[in-house]
Amino acid sequence: MPKLKTHKGLKKRIKISAKGKVKRPKAGKGHLMSGKSGRRLGHLRKKTGVSSAFNKIMTRALRGS
């Protein structure tokens, strides 16, 4: 069986916490910022987690690293 390759695009976009949770940035910050409230932009700045099913999939995709 060949070695697993790390999914490079995913590696650049997410971080794995010490307890193994996947943290990702929120969507909706690419453009059109002026139409969004400051409160909304503040919430978009924070990282968020993913569901347990996606957590398993993403850690498997990053296993090569």
Residue-wise pLDDT tens digits, 16-48: 999 989 999 999 999 999 999 999 999 999 999
In the chain, where are the structural domains located?
8-61
Under the banding of pLDDT at 50, 70 and 90, the label for residue 2 is confident
Neighbouring C-alpha atoms within 13 Å toward the C-beta of 15: 7
Q: How far apart are CA 5 and CA 63, in angstroms?
A: 8
pTM metric for this prediction:
0.75
Q: How far apart are CA 7 and CA 11, in angstroms?
A: 6
45: tokens are: 């700045």
Assigned fold of 8-61 = Factor Xa Inhibitor (4.10.410)
